[in-house]
């Protein structure tokens, strides 16, 4: 899966360009938002403390999938 495909799927889940930890959890099949933040969102810029750019999250998920 490419970063672009991941971003498209995240946009479908979130309904836009910003996504929450809970919505990312739906994509990676992890229902614990704290664990999702630790795995995928740590170090990313958060808007209003809980919204992340879909493109940043997609890049992080793609990065983690290579390991």
Domain ranges of the chain: 3-65
Q: Which helix (H) or strand (E) holds 34?
A: helix 33-36
Distance CA 60, CA 46 (A): 14
Each residue's pLDDT expressed in tens, for the chain with a length of 67 residues: 999 999 999 999 999 999 999 999 999 999 999 999 999 999 999 999 999 999 999 999 999 887 5
- The CATH fold assigned to 3-65 is Recoverin; domain 1 (1.10.238)
**What does each C-alpha distance from 36 to 18, 22, 54 come to in angstroms?**
16, 8, 14
Structure tokens at 25: 């959890």
Residues found in the chain: 67
């Amino acid at each position: 899966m490419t970063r672009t495909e991941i971003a498209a799927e995240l946009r479908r889940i979130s309904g836009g360009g910003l996504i929450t930890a809970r919505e990312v959890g739906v994509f990676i099949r992890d229902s614990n938002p704290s664990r999702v933040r630790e795995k995928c969102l740590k170090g990313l810029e958060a808007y209003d403390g809980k919204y992340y750019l879909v493109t940043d999250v997609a890049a992080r998920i793609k990065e983690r999938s290579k390991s």
